[in-house]
Amino acid sequence: MATENGSATSSDWQDRYYHVDQILDRPGPRTDPSFLAGDEVKDFLRNKCKILVIGAGGLGCEILANLALTGFKDIHVIDMDTIDISNLNRQFLFRPADVGRPKAIVAAEYVMKRVPGIKVTPYYGKIQDKGDDYYLQFNLVICGLDSVEARRWINATLVNLVDPENPESLKPLIDGGTEGFKGQARVILPTVSSCYECSLDMLNKPTTFPICTIANTPRLPEHCIEWASVLEWPRARGDEKLDTDDPEHIGWLYSIAAARAKEFKIEGVTWSLTQGVVKNVIPAIASTNAIIAAACCNEAFKIATSSAAYLNNYFMLIGTEGVYSYTFEHEKRDHCPVCGGEALEMSISREWTVEQLMELLTEKQNIQIKKPSLATPENPIYFQQPPQLEEAMRPNLEKKVSELVPDGGEITVTASSLPFSLSLIITYV
Amino acid sequence: MSSQDSQDIVTATTAIESAPDAKTRRYDRQLRLWAATGQSALESSRVLVISASATSSSILKNLVLPGIGHFTILDHAKVSHSDAGNNFFLEGSDSIGKYRSEEAVRLLSELNDGVEGRANTRTLEDILESQPEWITSFTIVIAHNLDHSLLHKLSALLWKDSRYPPLVAVRSAGFLADFYIQFHEHTIIESHSETSPSLRIDKPFPALRELALSLEYDKMDPTEHGHIPYVVILVRALEDWKKSHGNSLPKSYDERQQFKKGILALKMKGDEENFDEAEAQAYRCWTETKIPSEIAVLFSDPALSTDTLNTSTSPFFHLLAALKEFAAQSEIHTLPLTSTLPDMKSDTQNYIQLQRLYKARAEEEKQAFKSYLQVPVDDAMVDSFIKNAHALVVLRGKTWGAFDEDKGALAESLSTMPKETCIHLALSALSLLQASDTSVSPSAESIRAKMQSIVGQSIKLPDEADDAIGEIARAPFSELPNTAAFLGGMVAQEVIKMITKQYVPVKGYCVIDLIETWTGTIGA
């Protein structure tokens, strides 16, 4: 579609980029001297730059529209989800007739129809389906995800991709996230600046309820709902998988939870709360997504064109009381298992079992590795996979760590779902 | 407990709802923020937006999606080549030459069947002249990059009467922007504050005190002992302390540490989490239950004076007057108790028992509160008011542009928030320059001269002025898609807060710099 010399394409009409060109034709007072005003930068943005958008949901829809208007013409989008009716209050590229269709495909079609001359290539599937070669083709990656695990995966993948010999292998990652009236946008230069894993301890701890409270001494409506979903569902419905989008399933849980609440004289079990608890629903609105998505796309534009300095490196917004925002530089963590390079020292009791250590690795705010596998440089301690190996090593869970690892010894921790490993130096107290 | 209460509990715990309807499912993620009351306020609202620019369309997108009742776009311009390039609510070159307002309304309306959209292709001058009552009939008016003198006329019209709609004035150029909400008065019951009301541990109501004094720790079995809610533990510990300390509270640091140690010493077993929780919450014993200072200030609000409070006053001020009277009459001079009890380590029986004590007492105080009301107020509103009495908000605003005429305030703002103030002034200068000559791009020198004339010749502009001036001179007529989308979210968010009267809207000029990516507020 692009012409040889790359200035204009057939779908561009005169003055199409009047607004953006005012920025690209001349530097501002805070523009870096490396900025190449004029045709060269426009050519790169419009004909050469290839950008990947991860997520075609609340943020993704906004991101795709903004990028298309800004002049990015080769956009790829990945999303594994299909459209649900509850998306329609904010995911503005979808209509009621699209419910059930893949988000990535519908979003790509819509943007191409509305903004002529833009190519949006959708992939309906998981980010983990794609390998290094796929990610290497892009200049920039923008994430609009609601999943911590997916963010950790792409972050670690892009950090691993960096080859010091090849500057092109460094793919700036722009990450946005929202919850209700709050949100954040950040720029991550893999290996150079603080990465997603470096800031893991900023996440709120998820609410969990002790199983004995749920089973014996409920106080809150949430306890009754957990009772219905965690204990009663498997008891009454056997192996049937709970589908939190199936109204029949939610209705069943709701009636069981309501009966339990009645028995214990607890108020407040509603349909909406039942769905909220079992699905872990996060409130989401169009306006917050618009702000955060715009901030992300603005960073993509500035990085792709050097027309202005980019965010260094974290923008946090709280819109519940006035407009409060905080822009700051999040620092790299030396012990970050993804980009830090230094082993983490951990002191534990000589009496601790391998299982206790694994629990700590799952819960600790700055580690949070679910289903860890452990090994010393010499011997495996415990592997989650494959099943035969897991079975063979299971007796180790009961053993004391001090029987398997000397004082000052190293343990390498790997997570089955994340492409990185963490080195621990174990000392005993 | 009264039979009324037990009936409430029976209905509250037995009524089974059917699956939510399509509309509730569609709006589920936002109903969790502003509930049915906020949604119904949105659905009754009528929003006027002046200009169909990319920014205006973005603002409207974020209002149509959550479901406002009606919007009108007032714009007489036809779609230009450049409009077609930066506005998602135009169909590229196909829209060129058509009315901007009609195209934008058509495409915005596709987002939500429940919203009515209208285009009006008259000019604002004409309507201001011949039909101002049409403008004042809306719930709120939003204007983007409006000509300086027209904005002045519009703001003057909307300022004339306190019942007229608020005005949101939005300005942007390149990476820089600001916006201002002009309103006379804005009252908020549901501010969604994160502070929680007092549990009255230091001033327990009789039933709570009785419960605490009836505890016989030594006669309890370990299960019972491990399930006493911390509130009861603290009330008892404080009563005991006062008895042995001449009726005074733990005051010094040492006394407070001693008090906390005393709580932990009550443990029967090391792992009793309820006592750990009591120790962690011990500060509540010396946090006096009283009227929060922000609420005490509201008690001297001019709207409460007997000459102004009448049947046409909004229910909010009648409720506030009743609250003031309640506080004056209450033995402990405080706000009515709310029945919301936070979760705490306990078992079902102890927790529900305590919850019911709070509920019963809250009901009594609510009846007392209602006896001070001079006009009938809907019961749901009374409940909400009491629940939020510790976090009520009354905002009073100024007319748009008053800040730019207040040289003292500008000078102060330039020294305390130079970056924000310079961007605001540079945008003001741009709009003044455009008003005098729309044909040429203003130079950096002319922008600086205009800024200087706004602040007065005696004030030296800070170094930060260069950044703002340079950026405005670089792109004076540029409406960047990302800036438009950012403003679209920001402004819609504030408009939602204004319409629903929930959460707290920004007061003053919200200034945005999308180079360093920050926001700031000045001129409140």
Q: Is A85 inside a domain boundary?
A: yes
Instruction: Inform me whether the pLDDT recorded for B462 exceeds 70.
Output: yes
Is A245 in a helix, a strand, or coil? coil
pLDDT in tens, B159-187: 999 999 999 999 999 999 999 999 999 99
**Residue A386 counted as domain residue:** yes
User: Rounded to a whole number, what is the distance in Å from the CA of A363 to chain B's nearest CA?
Assistant: 19
Percent of chain B's residues with pLDDT above 70: 97
Instruction: Please judge whether B519 and A325 are an interchain contact, meaning their C-beta atoms are less than 8 angstroms apart.
Output: yes
Residue A52's H or E segment, with its range, is: strand A50-54
Q: What are the distances in angstroms from CA B12 to CA A269, B7, B21, B347?
A: 9, 8, 21, 21
From A22, A258, A325, residue closest to B474, measured CB to CB: A22
CB B466, CB A28: distance < 8 Å: no
Instruction: Quote the DSSP letter at residue A46.
Output: I
Residues B52 and B75: their CA atoms lie apart, in Å, by 6
Average pLDDT over residues B321-330: 95
Please answer yes or no on whether B346 and A297 come within 8 Å at the CB atom. no
Q: Is residue A8 part of a domain?
A: no
Q: Do B505 and A297 touch (CB under 8 A)?
A: no
Residues on chain B touching A65 (C-beta within 8 angstroms)? 88, 485
| Mean pLDDT, residues A34-53 taken together | 96
For the annotated catalytic residues of A, the residue numbers are 212
What CATH number is given to the structural domain containing A269? 1.10.10.520
Whether A1 maps to a domain, the answer reads: no
Give me the percent of chain B exceeding a pLDDT of 90: 91
Over residues A165-206, the pLDDT tens digits come to 999 999 999 999 999 999 999 999 999 999 999 999 998 877
Cis, peptide link before residue A386, omega less than 30° from 0: yes
Whether A23 sits inside 8 A of B175 (CB atoms) is yes
Q: Is it the case that residue B416 has pLDDT exceeding 90?
A: yes
Same domain for A315 and A218: no
Phi, psi of A200 (to 5 degrees): -55, -30
Which residues in chain B have their CB less than 8 angstroms from residue A287's CB?
A: 62, 66, 488-490, 492-493, 496
Chain A: give the shortest CA distance to residue B487, in Å: 7
Kindly state the average pLDDT of the residues B48-73: 98
Mean pLDDT for B396-411 is 96
Q: What pLDDT band is residue B436 in, cutting at 50, 70 and 90?
A: confident
- Contacts of A374-379 with C-beta under 8 Å, sequence gap 24+, read A374/A411, A374/A412, A374/A413, A375/A411, A375/A412, A375/A414, A376/A404, A376/A405, A376/A409, A376/A410, A376/A411, A376/A412, A377/A410, A377/A412, A379/A404
How would residue A8 be classed by pLDDT, with cut points 50, 70 and 90?
A: low
Q: pLDDT of A201-230, one tens digit each?
A: 998 877 889 999 999 999 999 999 999 999
Q: Which of A189, A172, A168, A76 minimizes the C-alpha distance to A124? A: A76
Using H for helix, E for strand and C for coil, what is the string for A374-386? EECCCCEEECCCC
CB contact under 8 A, A286 and B482: no
B14 band by pLDDT with thresholds 50, 70 and 90:
low
Query: What are the structure tokens assigned to B456, written together?
Result: 């007065």
Q: Are A382 and A354 in contact (CB under 8 A)?
A: yes
Q: Identify the closest residue of chain B to A266 by CA–CA distance.
A: B13
Complex confidence, ipTM: 0.95
Residue count of chain A, please give it: 429
Identify whether residues A159 and A28 lie together within a single domain.
yes
Residue A411 lies in a domain: yes
B493, pLDDT greater than 50: yes
Assign 3-class secondary structure to B353-391.
HHHHHHHHHHHHHHHHHHHCCCCCCCHHHHHHHHHCHHH
Residues B69 and B378: their CA atoms lie apart, in Å, by 24
Q: Would you give the end-to-end CA distance of chain B in angstroms? A: 49
Quote the pLDDT of residue A1: 37
What domain range is A227 assigned to?
A: 211-279
Q: Give the pLDDT of residue A342.
A: 86
Tokens in use for B520? 């700031």
How far is Cα B128 from Cα B151, in angstroms, rounded to an integer?
A: 11
Residue B427's closest CA among B237, B176, B89, B200?
Answer: B176
Assess whether A24 and A133 both reside in one domain: yes
Chain A positions touching B43 (Cβ under 8 A) are: none
Where does the pLDDT of residue A416 fall: very low under 50, low under 70, confident under 90, or very high at 90 and above?
A: confident
Mean pLDDT, all residues of chain B? 94
Chain B hits for A322, Cβ within 8 Å: 504-507, 521
**Subunit contact B33:A285, Cβ cutoff 8 A:** yes
A270 and A291 co-located in one domain: no
Within a domain: A5: no
Of residues B475 and A5, more confidently modeled = B475
Contact A301, A172 (CB under 8 A): no
Q: Which residue of A has its CA nearest to B359?
A: A267
Q: Which of A298, A328, A358 is the last residue of a domain?
A: A328
Q: Are residues A295 and A233 in the same domain?
A: no
Q: What's the whole-number mean pLDDT along residues A275-289? A: 96
Of A16, A287, A320, the CB nearest to B489: A287
Confidence of residue B311 (pLDDT cuts 50, 70, 90): confident
Cα(B213)–Cα(B194) distance, rounded to whole angstroms? 32
CA-nearest of B87, B362, B277 to A70 is B87
Residue A338 included in any domain? no
Distance CA A14, CA A8 (A): 9
pLDDT at position A366: 87
CATH number at residue A403: 3.10.290.20
Taking the CA of residue B269 and the nearest CA in chain A, the distance in Å comes to 18
Lay out the sheet containing A409-415: strands in order across. A344-348, A418-428, A409-415, A372-375, A380-382
pLDDT score at A429: 87
- Type of residue found at A193: S
Instruction: State how far the Cα of B132 lies from the Cα of B134, in Å rounded to an integer.
Output: 5
Residue A27 maps to which CATH number? 3.40.50.720
Which of A358, A199, A413, A334 is CA-nearest to residue A422?
A413
* Residues contacting residue B61 through CB under 8 Å, at least 6 positions apart: A92, A286, A290, B88, B89, B108, B111, B488, B492
Average pLDDT of A147-153?
A: 94
| B512, A325 contact by CB (below 8 A) | no
> pLDDT tens digits for B105-150?
999 999 999 999 999 999 999 999 999 999 999 999 999 999 999 9
The Cα–Cα gap between B495 and B493 comes to: 5
Q: Are residues A46 and A171 in the same domain?
A: yes
Q: What is d(CA A399, CA B516) in angstroms, rounded to the nearest whole number?
A: 53
Work out the angle at residue A56's Cα, subtended by the Cα atoms of residues B492 and A69, and round it to the nearest 5 degrees: 60
Domains of chain B from N-terminus onward: 22-184+479-522 (3.40.50.720), 206-285 (no CATH), 293-393 (no CATH), 403-474 (no CATH)
Strands (E), B417-503: none
Dist. CA A187–CA A301, nearest whole Å: 12
Q: What is the CA radius of gyration of chain A?
A: 25
pLDDT computed for residue B5 by the predictor: 46
Minimum Cα–Cα distance from B25: chain A residue: A86
Same domain, A257 and A319: no
Phi, psi dihedrals of residue A419, rounded to the nearest 5°: -85, 55
| Same domain flag for A60 and A197 | yes
Q: Name all contacts of A321-325 with Cβ < 8 Å and 24+ positions apart.
A: A321/B191, A321/B193, A321/B503, A321/B504, A322/B504, A322/B505, A322/B506, A322/B507, A322/B521, A323/B490, A323/B493, A323/B494, A323/B506, A323/B510, A323/B519, A323/B521, A325/B518, A325/B519
Task: Provide the token pair at B271.
Answer: 């792992």
- Give me the residues paired with residue B30 across strands: none
3-state SS record for B232-290: HHHHHHHHHHHHHCCCCCCCCHHHHHHHHHHHHHCCCCCCCHHHHHHHHCHHHHCCCCC
User: Which residues from B are below 8 Å from A265, CB to CB?
Assistant: 9, 13, 352
Q: Is residue A280 predicted with pLDDT exceeding 70?
A: yes
Count of other CB atoms within 10 angstroms of residue B148: 17
In a domain, A352, yes or no: yes
If one counts the domains in chain A, the total is: 3
Please tell me the total number of residues recorded for chain B in this structure. 524
* B491 has a pLDDT exceeding 60: yes
pLDDT number for residue A6? 40
Same domain, A300 and A353: no
The percentage of chain A sitting over the pLDDT mark of 90, rounded to a whole number, equals: 88
- Which of A279, A309, A336 finishes a domain? A279
Among A45-54, B71-80, B89-98, B310-319, name the one with the lowest average pLDDT. Answer: B310-319
Under 8 Å between Cβ of A89 and B61: no
Q: Is the peptide bond before A160 cis (omega within 30 degrees of 0)?
A: no
| Chain segment B218-266, per-residue pLDDT in tens | 999 999 999 999 999 999 999 999 999 999 999 999 999 999 999 999 9
- Distance between CA atoms of B291 and B217, rounded to whole angstroms? 34
Task: Look at residue B313 in the predicted model and tell me its pLDDT.
Answer: 86
For B212-230, the three-class secondary structure string (H helix, E strand, C coil) is HHCCCHHHCCHHHHCCCCH
Q: Are residues A163 and A90 in the same domain?
A: yes
The pLDDT value given to residue A10: 59
A270 contacts in B (CB within 8 Å)?
17
Domain boundary among A268, A301, A328: A328
Q: Which long-range contacts (CB under 8 A, 24 or more apart) does A367-370 make?
A: A367/A200, A367/A337, A367/A422, A368/A200, A369/A413, A369/A415, A369/A418, A369/A422, A370/A415, A370/A417
Looking at the partner chain, which of B16, B88, B351 has a beta carbon nearest the beta carbon of A69?
A: B88
Tell me: do A269 and A290 sit in the same domain.
no
CA distance A404 to A400: 7
Q: Going by C-beta distance under 8 Å and a sequence separation of 6 or more, which residues neighbour residue A330?
A: A186, A193, A194, A198, A199, A313, A314
Tell whether A199 and A56 lie within a shared domain: yes
